[in-house]
């Protein structure tokens, strides 16, 4: 069984034990990770959403350095091992920014996620192709709205995890964090992509947000993953 197979079955006690035994589920900072090569190939336009080019799966991505995949898998796995009885208590997820459905596909590889809301004002054709079966089964629900409008549709404390990967400006990242944190239940998680990248202003927005809303956040829960996703747990 591959590491990926193990990770996709976090409810399976054998798989979990296996991971612990292997000791290969480290959460190292990007700078400490042995693979320093940038996984973004310079030769392709990663945002050519109408071609077969992928944002995270990066064909032809460097298979020795699948950091974009590993980061999100690690994030979802991290939420699961820090949630007692995750098949009952980690079921409702929401992502802001779905584009071509790659992060959504990764999340839906985790069986405990029973519902994934995908908020994007402009999801692409590839998103609907990838998510076809999940949309038909209603496991994935597409919310075609701006995040600053969609948050009004959700009750406070109604979500277990919110993952933010929308507009990466300081103002928008701050707004998304501020408007969506109340929607997460106590003990749930918020993840935000590109905290460590030099794309956009996510890092300063997150840092300021954490100090402003410190009472609502468990400061011992801060974690950064290999793809630059930052995660914290709501108090």
Ligand X SMILES: C[S@@+](CC[C@H](N)C(=O)[O-])C[C@H]1O[C@@H](n2cnc3c(N)ncnc32)[C@H](O)[C@@H]1O
What letter does residue 42 receive in the DSSP assignment? Answer: T
Q: What is the C-alpha to C-alpha distance for residues 121 and 145, in angstroms, rounded to an integer?
A: 4
Q: Between 115 and 146, whose beta carbon lies closer to ligand X? A: 146
Q: What is the C-alpha to C-alpha distance for residues 118 and 125, in angstroms, rounded to an integer?
A: 14
Binding footprint of ligand X, residue count (CB under 6 A) = 21
Residue 6 touches ligand X, criterion: CB under 6 A: no
Residue 74 touches ligand X, criterion: CB under 6 A: no
Residue 20 touches ligand X, criterion: CB under 6 A: no
Residue 56 touches ligand X, criterion: CB under 6 A: yes
Residues in 120-159 at the binding interface with ligand X, rule: CB under 6 A: 120-122, 146-148
Q: Spell out the residues 6+ positions from residue 193 whose beta carbon is closer than 8 angstroms to its own.
A: 97, 103, 163, 164, 165, 202, 227, 228, 229
Q: Are 76 and 127 in contact (CB under 8 A)?
A: no
Q: Between 7 and 96, whose beta carbon lies closer to ligand X? A: 96
Q: Between 141 and 218, whose beta carbon lies closer to ligand X? A: 141
Residues in 161-180 at the binding interface with ligand X, rule: CB under 6 A: 165-167, 172
Count H helices and E strands in the chain, helices first: 9, 7
Q: What is the C-alpha to C-alpha distance for residues 202 and 174, in angstroms, rounded to an integer?
A: 8
Residues paired with residue 129 on neighbouring β-strands, in sequence order: none
Q: Between 94 and 96, whose beta carbon lies closer to ligand X? A: 96
**Structure tokens that stand for 218 in this block:** 């468990």
* In the complex, minimum distance from the CB of residue 93 to ligand X, in angstroms, rounded to a whole number: 12
Q: Between 83 and 98, whose beta carbon lies closer to ligand X? A: 98
Q: Please identify which residue in 99, 116, 140, 192 interacts with ligand X, judged by CB under 6 A.
A: 99
Residues paired with residue 223 on neighbouring β-strands, in sequence order: 231
Residue 98 touches ligand X, criterion: CB under 6 A: yes
Where on the chain is the footprint of ligand X (CB under 6 A)?
Answer: 55-56, 96-103, 119-122, 146-148, 165-167, 172
């Amino acid at each position: 069984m591959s590491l990926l197979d193990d990770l996709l079955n976090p409810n399976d006690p054998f798989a979990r034990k296996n991971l612990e035994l292997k000791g290969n589920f480290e959460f190292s900072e990007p700078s400490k990770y042995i693979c320093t090569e940038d996984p973004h190939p310079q030769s392709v336009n990663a945002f050519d959403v109408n071609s077969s080019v992928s944002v995270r799966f990066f064909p032809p991505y460097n298979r020795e350095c699948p950091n974009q995949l590993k980061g999100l898998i690690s994030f979802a796995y991290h939420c699961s091992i820090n949630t007692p009885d995750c098949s009952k208590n980690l079921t409702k997820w929401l992502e802001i920014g779905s584009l071509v459905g790659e992060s959504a596909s990764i999340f839906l590889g985790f069986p405990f996620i029973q519902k994934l809301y995908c908020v994007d004002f402009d999801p692409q054709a590839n998103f609907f192709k990838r998510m076809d079966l999940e949309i038909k089964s209603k496991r994935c629900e597409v919310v075609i709205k701006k995040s600053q409008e969609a948050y009004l549709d959700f009750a406070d404390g109604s979500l277990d995890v919110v993952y933010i990967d929308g507009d990466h400006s300081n103002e928008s990242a701050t707004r998304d964090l501020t408007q969506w944190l109340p929607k997460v239940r106590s003990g749930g998680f918020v993840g935000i992509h590109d905290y460590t990248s030099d794309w956009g202003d996510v890092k300063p927005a997150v840092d300021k947000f954490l100090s402003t809303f410190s009472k609502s956040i468990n400061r011992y829960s801060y974690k950064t993953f290999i793809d630059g996703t930052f995660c914290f747990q709501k108090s």
